[in-house]
Amino acid sequence: MTAPDIDSLADLVRTTARETLLPRFCSVRCEWKADGSAITEADLACDQALRDALATRWPGIGLLSEEMPEAERAALLDQPGNRFWVIDPLDGTNNYANGIPFFCTSVALVEGDRIVLGVVYDPVRDECFAAAAGAGARLNGGPLQPARETPSLNKALLLCNPDRLAPELRRRLLDPEPPYGSLRNFGALALEWCWTALGRGHVYFHARQNLWDYAAGWLVLNESGGRATQFDGQPLPARAANPCTALASRSPALHEALRRHLGLPGRQPQADR
């Protein structure tokens, strides 16, 4: 068996998402899981198709999915040094179910305590963001280049869902005279990571990030030269059992500027991933 590589993984994710998500777009009914999050038949179909495709192409690698029982996820994360896929078959389920064309499929590979491969695919725009640790980030096979020059913080577009923030932090962020230019909440966390890496958004500020929300997108942003930490300055872990926070930007200067404005702790040393 050959080791997973970024080109083969990108092709697999693109094919699976196009075949399972696009035909059902605008035609599925949204239901609700016990934790209050949305789910559709498309989530389940894409989840199963990804499981089957990954197991066939690279057998023997574990798999952690948003759609699997919590006890199974915990058992997988409790195995130190193992290798496993992290998948979110449909990130942006609410958008998808309501006909809003902003959703994606996200797949990452974790080896030990490192995220080593990541793919985020947007089937509506046919944009495939991909990254391999130490090898840079790509968009549709070519180098990922920012869409435009990075602005100063007072003109920056902040990607954030304020409802997920603690009340005091939300109050500071939504100051009547905020330090950023404007705020957007697009509703698909992994894709927002990639849009930040590309420069379509300038600062990414989100709480309650599960591993499948950030694993692939974090790698894309990191390999594009960006900076990402949790709100306390710690790095985002590759094996998170509990939700994390994320402050990220393609521009380390913007990351630092918002951190200082909000009074968040400074960046802590990061081990190599």
Kindly give the confidence (pLDDT) of every residue in the chain, 273 residues in length, as a single tens digit, with 9 standing for 90 and above.
688 999 999 999 999 999 999 999 988 777 777 666 778 899 999 999 999 999 999 999 999 998 888 899 989 998 888 899 999 999 999 999 999 999 999 999 999 999 999 999 999 999 999 999 999 999 999 999 886 788 999 999 999 999 999 999 999 888 888 899 999 999 999 999 999 999 999 999 999 999 999 999 999 999 999 999 999 999 999 998 899 999 999 999 999 999 999 999 865 544 444
Domain ranges in the chain with CATH number 3.30.540.10: 6-143
Predicted confidence at residue 271, as pLDDT, reads 43
**How far is C-alpha 127 from the geometric centre of its chain's CA atoms?**
14
Predicted confidence at residue 272, as pLDDT, reads 42
Predicted confidence at residue 269, as pLDDT, reads 44
Domain 6-143, classified CATH 3.30.465.10, yes or no: no
Give the containing element (helix H, strand E) for 123: none
Burial class (CB in 10 A: 0-12, 13-18, 19+), 256: middle
Predicted confidence at residue 37, as pLDDT, reads 75
Predicted confidence at residue 55, as pLDDT, reads 97
Q: Which residues contact 239 (CB under 8 A, 6 or more apart)?
A: 77, 110, 113, 211
Domain 153-262, second-level architecture? 3-Layer(aba) Sandwich (3.40)
The Cβ of residue 170 has, within 10 Å, a number of other Cβ atoms equal to: 14
Domain ranges in the chain with CATH number 3.40.190.80: 153-262
